[in-house]
Amino acid sequence: MTINQIIEKIMVALDEVSSPNLLINEDEYIDKIFPLIDSVQREIATIAKPIKKYLDVVSINKRIDMPPDCYELLKVYDSRMKPVSFDTYGSKIFIMDDTLSDGTFTLYYNKYPDTINANTPRAIELEVSKECQEALVYGVCAGLTINDEPELYDTYMDKYNVMLANIQLRMQNGATAKLVGGLKI
């Protein structure tokens, strides 16, 4: 979904409730939507369903700068896409394999989503998955109503948490194992 579509869904969800406080604060909500979309998508991407990324980088003295959008480095591959031993310290990645020299390496990591603010084009697609985008709508609605409508906040937050729990459960149930060489019964 695009940012415009997310905003439309948020407004529809808020419009379903007839509350004088919501109508009075509508202009204030427009200003809060972008920071809330950004913080909720970041929460979803770091807690519920990560955004995976591959990035080719060049090492200097077997050191690589950590990408700024990386929150969890999973693996480092050499130019033949074989995993290499590495260690991290601060914002640096150190290649620990003595048989390798400087060159191009591929980083595989979980990334933070791109920042959303009022200047972000509204036609941009969000990076979190489609199922997470539906949960995002309720997370933003909860953030918008936290000060004005505590009952609505609880309703939206419960819906958001249930959707995230279901997403995490599906991810755990979708785990697979590969048997090599068969299975004796």
pLDDT tens-place values along the chain, 185 residues long: 999 999 889 888 887 765 555 555 566 777 889 999 999 999 999 988 999 999 999 999 999 999 999 999 999 999 999 999 999 999 999 999 888 888 899 999 999 999 999 899 999 999 999 889 999 999 999 998 888 788 889 999 999 999 999 988 887 776 565 666 666 66
Q: Do 57 and 94 share a structural domain?
A: yes
Element of type H or E holding 169: helix 150-173
Round to whole Å and give the CA distance between 66 and 56: 12
Domain that holds residue 85: 51-111
Q: Do 43 and 133 share a structural domain?
A: yes
Q: Do 43 and 10 share a structural domain?
A: yes
Residue 78 lies in a domain: yes
| The two three-digit tokens of residue 63, written as one number | 């050191």
Name the domain count of the chain.
2
The structure tokens 């941009």 sit at 124
Q: Do 30 and 72 share a structural domain?
A: no
Residue 82 lies in a domain: yes
Q: Is 126 helix (H, G, I), strand (E, B) or coil?
A: coil
Element of type H or E holding 55: strand 51-58
Residue 184 lies in a domain: no
Q: Which of 67, 83, 111 is the last residue of a domain?
A: 111
pTM as predicted: 0.80
pLDDT of residue 87: 94
DSSP string, 25-48: THHHHHHHHHHHHHHHHHHIIIII
Residue 20 lies in a domain: yes
Residue 84 lies in a domain: yes
pLDDT of residue 37: 95
Q: Which of 78, 111, 144 is the last residue of a domain?
A: 111
Q: Do 107 and 57 share a structural domain?
A: yes
Q: Do 58 and 93 share a structural domain?
A: yes
Q: Do 83 and 39 share a structural domain?
A: no
Residue 151 lies in a domain: yes
Residue 122 lies in a domain: no
pLDDT of residue 185: 63
